[in-house]
Amino acid sequence: MIGILVLTHEDLGEHLIRCASHVVGMKPPQLMHLGVFIQDDPDAVLIQARELIQQLDSGDGVLILNDMFGATPCNIASRLVQPGKIACLSGANLPMLVRVLTYRHEPLPAVIEKGLSGGQRGVIQIDAEPCHAN
């Protein structure tokens, strides 16, 4: 099973995990969050992230989800990537997280593809229904 680390600004990842747990009906195993706060030293967060990845990796790899490309959590995550072992997707949202949780028993490349498609397909415009008077 692929381990999942949600590496985000502050507590965003914790809230995504809570919401995903609600959607799937339980707190999934091998799923952790690491928040990056304004006062944090990125090198210290990197060390914490490496420790969490060791805990999450059961031999199938780890997928890191971060909230925003180019920001500090993403920059930290990019230093952790190891092709075939540790991957990272940026732009994390609830559909992406639910999708990777659903398919995490697949090989890492398949989970990456499912996460990307889930995240992208989860962003759509909703048109308003016309109001009907009764």
CATH number at residue 18: 3.40.50.510
Q: Count up the domains in the chain and report the number.
A: 1
Q: pTM of the full predicted structure?
A: 0.93
**Residue 132 resides in a domain:** no
**Residue 112 resides in a domain:** yes
User: Tens digit of pLDDT for each residue in 39-97?
Assistant: 999 999 999 999 999 999 999 999 999 999 999 999 999 999 999 999 999 999 999 99
| Residue 129: per-residue pLDDT | 77
Residue 131 has pLDDT above 70, yes or no: no
Residue 51 lies in domain: 3-121
**Residue 127 resides in a domain:** no
What does the H/E/C string look like for the chain?
A: CCEEEEEEECCHHHHHHHHHHHHHCCCCCCEEEEEECCCCCHHHHHHHHHHHHHHHCCCCCEEEEECCCCCHHHHHHHCCCECCCEEEEECCCHHHHHHHHHHCCCCHHHHHHHHHHHHHHCCCCCCCCCCCCC
| Residue 42: per-residue pLDDT | 97
d(CA 104, CA 37): 28
